[in-house]
Amino acid sequence: MKKRTFLAGVAATALATAAFAGSHGDGPVKAGFIYVGPIGDGGWTYQHDQGRLAVEAEFGDQVETVYQETVPEGADAERAITQMALQGADIIFTTSFGYMDPTINVAAKFPNVKFEHATGYKTADNVATYDARFYEGRAVIGTIAGHMTESNKIGYIASFPIPEVIQGINSAYLHAKKVNPDVEMSVVWVYTWFDPAKEADAAKALIENGVDVIMQHTDSTAPQAAAAEAEGTVYTFGQASDMGAYAPVPRISSIIDEWSPYYIERVRAVLDGTWESGRHWGGIAEGEVVIGEISEAVPEEVRAEALALRDAIAAGEYHPFTGPINKQDGTPWLAEGEVATDEELLGLNFYVEGITAEIPN
Amino acid sequence: MIRLEKRAAPSRTWSYLTPLVAVIATMIAGGLMFAALGKDPVEAIRTIFWDPLFGEFAFYYRGQLLVKAGPLILIAIGLALGFRAGIWNIGAEGQYIMGAICGAAVGLAFYPMEARWLIFPLMILGGAVGGFLWAMIPGILKTRFNTNEILVSLLLVYVAEQILASMSLGLLRNPEGAGFPGSRNLRQYESAANNELIAGTGMHWGVVAALIAVIFAYILLSRHIMGFNIRLTGESPRAARFAGVNPNRLILFCLGLSGALAGLAGLFEVAGPAGQISIDFNVGYGFTAIIVAFLGRLHPIGILLAGLLMALTYIGGEAAQSSLGLPSAAIQAFQGMLLFFLLAFDVLTHFRVKFGREAAA
């Protein structure tokens, strides 16, 4: 028994080395995608899958794409990624924060496969990261939210207390406050990226507490559906995807993640043999963060103000985190005119002054 | 006309046959479903059941099979003992989480000291104690106040999930993790890592523990007075009381043992495949183990086989998703069919199928 296990181990190692060393031959480039939700979530994963389809449309026969949906973050992710690499993928996009360590682990075993991890901070020779400046979009919808609220209570359905999410909360609050000094923000943490039931519960709880504008950093349309029941008295914003089915109310605008340009660029780099590791962080200017149509429920002057803000961000004239901004405890963060650095934003772990909630700790 | 006639005693033959018949029926019904989805049913079934064992990449999948089956078997063995005695611990998922937290906490408390001979055994102890204590809550509530252990143990799963989130964000958070939730990676901490014993085989201490548990449970049930008491209580609680079985002691024994085993499974998972305490560390092993226990007829050897079969549907199902483009929901439906057919064919264990009219009484 012992001998057999040992032999199996040796055989496995030998085979593994052979398989792990192999790269694609003359066939089409194979691009793999690991999704955290179902492709029909109508939000985050849906948008990534649109990016995959754009890659197929762009390159036709030169590229073959594969994907696996609803992959849990953790031990199972490592297997799913390994599986894709074994099946001959040349480039693998892992599209959720929790795939960070698994991606790095698998990448170490497959030096010839390129990996692209969304929203993380660890890179390697064959692992690049990419992310979008969602906080730019939050500034725009925060402005709209500040104008639209009657009760002066804005709700925020948050997923996990990681910098990306905290950036969004801070940005939305700062810009709502700028146009409406009386605004208050309630944050509900649901600890999931996609769970329609939990998201709906969070939305209902917020509405019961008098919130009349809800923003979300979760992927399903459940909060939109919950708000729709309030019959026009509660407004929401599409998240990741346009969620246009809920327009004109409750969905009054949206932040759309547009991954297609990046995916096409990176797959082309693999085709050309010019792929290199790096960190990519695009925003409104790069067309990666798109503000969806602002519906007729929003007054004309508010629409104009929101669009002007969007254009100023796109032109690089305005940064959503421009001082003076204090931290929640009142200590100064950014001085007058000072702009937050990317490093500060990528490690953001505090609220700005005025938010009364606490980051779970 | 078809009639069902109750058997005087459950049929032993059918009790062994039904799992096999259920698997075959699942293959047929699943094949029809895959065909309806426009996939080649034979290829889909081959990808799920054959390729992970004997296909091109079997060297990788066989190990993963053990990784996936290990915790399922370990938990199911404990649950089955209780189920046999009519003690329904539905909350193994919570005990699994608490075992992982306690075990990981023990390991992290020693960081960065290196003393594997001391730290790893203490972590194992911590894992077992964590799961044991969590299971004692429904146990003591039942023996003292006659509460329903099904409800209490199930609801404690949600409490455990909240504690898990709080631990990942607070007490056990990696101080060098740039504010991101999740503990240090135990796999990178020599003294605490539960790595593969032989590289590439998937064999880690958790799998070893599962095998030991199978043997231990087999001996307990067939040779030990406690095993006799368990079986007697399950078959006839009144007879058991006359025979001098103390029902409270039995409840605490069964719940405690299943809790400790679930806790062990959690510890081995967190120190091995998962690597760290994170918000969504648990992926439902505690619930799937209930299916495994029944699929294995609550018999230790049966559970061993059922755990491997269940793992096969997971691994093969994932492979089918990425290589054939099957939706993840189809795989879940496929696994659901297995339980459905098992329960459906179980009728044959207790009833005899008769054709023709019932003889006039």
ipTM, two decimals: 0.79
- Last residue of some domain: A80, A113, A132? A132
The pair of three-digit structure tokens given for residue A299, joined into one six-digit string: 């007054």
Q: Do B276 and A101 touch (CB under 8 A)?
A: yes
- Phi-psi region at A119: left, alpha or beta (left = phi > 0; alpha = psi -120 to 50): left
Pick the residue of A97, A99, A117, A191 with the most B CBs within 10 A to test the interface with B by mutation.
A191
Q: Residue A110 above 90 pLDDT?
A: yes
Q: Inform me whether the C-beta atom of residue A9 falls under 8 Å from chain B C-beta atoms.
A: yes
Same domain, A105 and A245: no
- Last residue of some domain: A99, A115, A132? A132
Same domain, A51 and A143: no
Report yes or no on A232 lying in a domain.
yes
Residue pair B100/B277 in contact by the 8 Å Cβ criterion: yes
Same domain, A68 and A145: no
Q: Inform me whether the C-beta atom of residue A150 falls under 8 Å from chain B C-beta atoms.
A: no
Name the band, by pLDDT with cuts 50, 70 and 90, for residue A317: very high
- Last residue of some domain: A109, A132, A155? A132
Q: Inform me whether the C-beta atom of residue A56 falls under 8 Å from chain B C-beta atoms.
A: no
**Closest residue in chain B to residue A40, using alpha carbons only:** B327
Task: Provide φ and ψ at B7, rounded to 5°.
Answer: -80, 150
The minimum CA-CA distance between B55 and chain A, rounded to whole Å, is: 12
Helix (H, G, I), strand (E, B) or coil at A324: coil
User: Measured between CB atoms, which of A13, A74, A83 is closest to B280?
Assistant: A74
Q: Which residues of B are less than 8 Å from A69 in CB distance?
A: 321, 327-328
pLDDT-wise least confident of A12-26, A320-334, B41-55, B267-281? A12-26
Residue A95 to residues A192, B177, B185, Cα–Cα distance (Å): 15, 20, 21
Residue B211 to residues A254, B79, B195, Cα–Cα distance (Å): 53, 15, 17
Report yes or no on A283 lying in a domain.
no
What does the DSSP 8-state code read for residue B357?
Answer: P
Q: Do A74 and B281 touch (CB under 8 A)?
A: yes
Q: Do A101 and B165 touch (CB under 8 A)?
A: no
Q: Do A12 and B319 touch (CB under 8 A)?
A: no
Residue pair B75/B285 in contact by the 8 Å Cβ criterion: yes
Q: What is the mean pLDDT of residues B49-68?
A: 89
Q: Residue A104 above 50 pLDDT?
A: yes
Q: Do B201 and A82 touch (CB under 8 A)?
A: no
Q: Inform me whether the C-beta atom of residue B164 falls under 8 Å from chain A C-beta atoms.
A: no
**The predicted structure's pLDDT at residue B207:** 94
Map out the domains of chain B with their CATH numbers: 61-325 (1.10.3470)
Q: At what angle do helices B285-295 and B247-271 cross, to 10 degrees?
A: 120
Report yes or no on A117 lying in a domain.
yes
Do the strands A332-334 and A325-326 form a parallel or antiparallel pair, or are they unpaired?
Answer: antiparallel
Same domain, A215 and A311: yes
User: Measured between CB atoms, which of B178, B201, B325 is closest to A8?
Assistant: B201
Calpha distance A51→A67 (Å, rounded)? 12
Tokens 């190990």 -> residue: B63
Same domain, A94 and A141: no
Q: Is the dihedral of CA A36, A42, A46, A47 positive or negative?
A: negative
Report yes or no on A313 lying in a domain.
yes
Kindly provide the residue ranges of all beta strands, DSSP E only, lying in chain B, ordered along the sequence.
2-6, 351-355
Query: H or E element: which one contains A93?
Result: strand A91-94
What percentage of chain A exceeds 70 in pLDDT?
A: 93
Report yes or no on A354 lying in a domain.
no
Task: Provide φ and ψ at B355, rounded to 5°.
Answer: -100, 150
Domain that residue A47 falls in: 2-132
The domain that holds A305 is classified in CATH as: 3.40.50.2300
Q: Inform me whether the C-beta atom of residue B266 falls under 8 Å from chain A C-beta atoms.
A: no
Q: What is the mean pLDDT of residues B248-257?
A: 93
**The predicted structure's pLDDT at residue A336:** 92
User: Measured between CB atoms, which of B67, B169, B319 is closest to A360?
Assistant: B169
Report yes or no on A178 lying in a domain.
yes
Same domain, A216 and A68: no
Same domain, A127 and A140: no
Same domain, A200 and A62: no
Calpha distance A75→B341 (Å, rounded)? 30
**The predicted structure's pLDDT at residue B178:** 64
Question: Mean pLDDT in chain A?
Answer: 89
**The predicted structure's pLDDT at residue B358:** 61
Domain count, chain A: 2
Same domain, A164 and A243: yes
Q: Do A162 and B179 touch (CB under 8 A)?
A: yes
Whether residue A111 is preceded by a cis peptide bond, meaning omega within 30 degrees of 0, is: no
**The predicted structure's pLDDT at residue B69:** 95
Whether residue A332 is preceded by a cis peptide bond, meaning omega within 30 degrees of 0, is: no
Name the band, by pLDDT with cuts 50, 70 and 90, for residue B328: confident
Do the strands A325-326 and A184-189 form a parallel or antiparallel pair, or are they unpaired?
Answer: unpaired
The minimum CA-CA distance between A13 and chain B, rounded to whole Å, is: 7
Report yes or no on A125 lying in a domain.
yes
Q: Which residues of B are less than 8 Å from A74 in CB distance?
A: 274, 278, 280-281, 283
Name the band, by pLDDT with cuts 50, 70 and 90, for residue A356: confident
Q: At what angle do helices B58-84 and B285-295 cross, to 10 degrees?
A: 80
Name the band, by pLDDT with cuts 50, 70 and 90, for residue B295: confident
Same domain, A297 and A190: yes
Same domain, A120 and A165: no
Same domain, A177 and A97: no
The pair of three-digit structure tokens given for residue B344, joined into one six-digit string: 């459906």
**The predicted structure's pLDDT at residue A202:** 95
Q: Which long-range contacts (CB under 8 A, 24 or more apart) does B226-229 make?
A: B226/B253, B229/B85
Q: Residue A187 above 80 pLDDT?
A: yes
Report yes or no on A307 lying in a domain.
yes
Calpha distance A141→A294 (Å, rounded)? 10
Residue A99 to residues A126, A267, B280, Cα–Cα distance (Å): 15, 20, 12
